[in-house]
Amino acid sequence: MPPIEAELAALAAHMIDRREAILYAWRRAVMKDPSLSTADSLPRAQLNDHIPALLQAFERRLNPALESLATAAADEADDHAAAHGLHRWQQGYDLRELSQELGRLNECVVVELEGYAQAHPDQPHEVMATARWMWAELSAHEFSASIAEYFRLQQLEAAGHVKDLEQALRQVEGLEQQRAHRWREAVHDLLDEVTDLARLQAGKEQLQSAVIDVAALMGELAVDLRDRAQAHGLFLRCEGPAVYVVEGDAIKIRRIAQNLVLNALKYTRQGGIQVRFGDSDARDDGKRWVLSVQDSGPGFDSGPGSPMVTALSEGTDLTRQSEADAVAHGHAGDAAADRVPAALSQASASSSASQEPGEGIGLSIVKRLAELLHASVEVDSGDQGTTFSVYLPKQYGR
- What is the pairing mode between strands 235-239 and 272-279? parallel
Judge if 68 and 133 occupy the same domain: yes
Residue 143 lies in a domain: yes
72/120 same-domain check = yes
Q: Is residue 300 part of a domain?
A: yes
Range with the lowest mean pLDDT among 12-26, 124-138, 215-229, 318-332?
Answer: 318-332
Is the same domain home to 220 and 145? Answer: no
Checking if the pLDDT of 15 tops 80, the result is yes
Mean pLDDT of 319-341: 45
Q: Are residues 118 and 30 in the same domain?
A: yes
134 and 251 share a domain?
A: no
The model's pLDDT over 341-378, given as tens digits with 9 standing for 90+, comes to 343 334 333 333 344 444 467 788 888 889 989 999 99
Question: Is residue 338 included in any domain, yes or no?
Answer: yes
- The residue out of 104, 134, 164 marking a domain boundary is 164
- Per residue in 262-287, pLDDT (tens digit) is 888 888 888 999 999 999 875 667 88
Do 245 and 381 share a domain, yes or no?
Answer: yes
Q: Which long-range contacts (CB under 8 A, 24 or more apart) does 277-280 make?
A: 277/214, 277/215, 277/218, 277/239, 277/240, 277/241, 277/244, 278/240, 278/241, 278/244, 280/391
When pLDDT is averaged across residues 151-175 and rounded to a whole number, the result is 74
Confidence at residue 88, expressed as pLDDT on a 0 to 100 scale: 45
90 pLDDT above the threshold of 90: no
Residue-range definition of the domain harbouring residue 28: 3-164
Cβ distance 211 to 382 under 8 Å? no
Same-domain check for residues 233 and 121: no
Domain-ending residue, one of 164, 194, 213 = 164
Q: Total domain count for the chain?
A: 2
Let me know whether 98 and 229 are in one domain.
no
- State pLDDT tens for residues 116-129: 999 999 888 899 99
Judge whether residue 289 has pLDDT over 80.
yes
Of the pLDDT bands very low, low, confident and very high (cuts 50, 70, 90), residue 142 is confident
Q: Residue 30 — left, alpha, or beta (φ > 0 → left; ψ -120 to 50 → alpha)?
A: alpha
- Helices and strands: H and E segment counts in the chain: 13, 7
Q: Residue 367 in contact with residue 377, Cβ under 8 Å? A: yes
**Are 393 and 287 in contact, with CB atoms under 8 Å apart?**
yes
Q: What's the pTM?
A: 0.46
Asked if the model's pLDDT at residue 73 lies above 60, the reply is no
Q: What are residue 13's phi and psi, to 5 degrees?
A: -65, -40
Same domain flag for 155 and 216: no
Here the CATH number for the domain that contains residue 357 is 3.30.565.10
Q: Which residue has the higher pLDDT, 153 or 243?
A: 243
What CATH number corresponds to the domain at position 89? 1.10.490.10
Gap between the Cα atoms of 146 and 152, Å rounded: 10
325 inside domain: yes
pLDDT for 162: 75
Report the chain's C-alpha Rg in angstroms.
Answer: 43
Q: Collapse the DSSP code of 177 into the 3-class scheme (helix H, G, I; strand E, B; otherwise coil) and give the result.
A: helix
Examine the domain organization and report whether 305 and 241 are in the same domain. Answer: yes
Span 294-305, average pLDDT:
64
Identify whether 48 is part of a domain: yes
Residue 132 scores a pLDDT above 60: yes
* Structural element, H or E, at residue 384: strand 384-393
Asked, for residue 19, whether it belongs to a domain, the answer is yes
Same structural domain for residues 221 and 157?
no
Region 74-100: mean pLDDT is 52
Does residue 132 lie within any of the structural domains?
yes
Q: Are residues 150 and 248 in the same domain?
A: no
Q: Which of 164, 194, 228 is the last residue of a domain?
A: 164
Whether residue 194 is contained in a domain is answered as no
pLDDT of residue 242: 94
CB 139 within 8 A of CB 74: no
Which pLDDT belongs to residue 70? 44
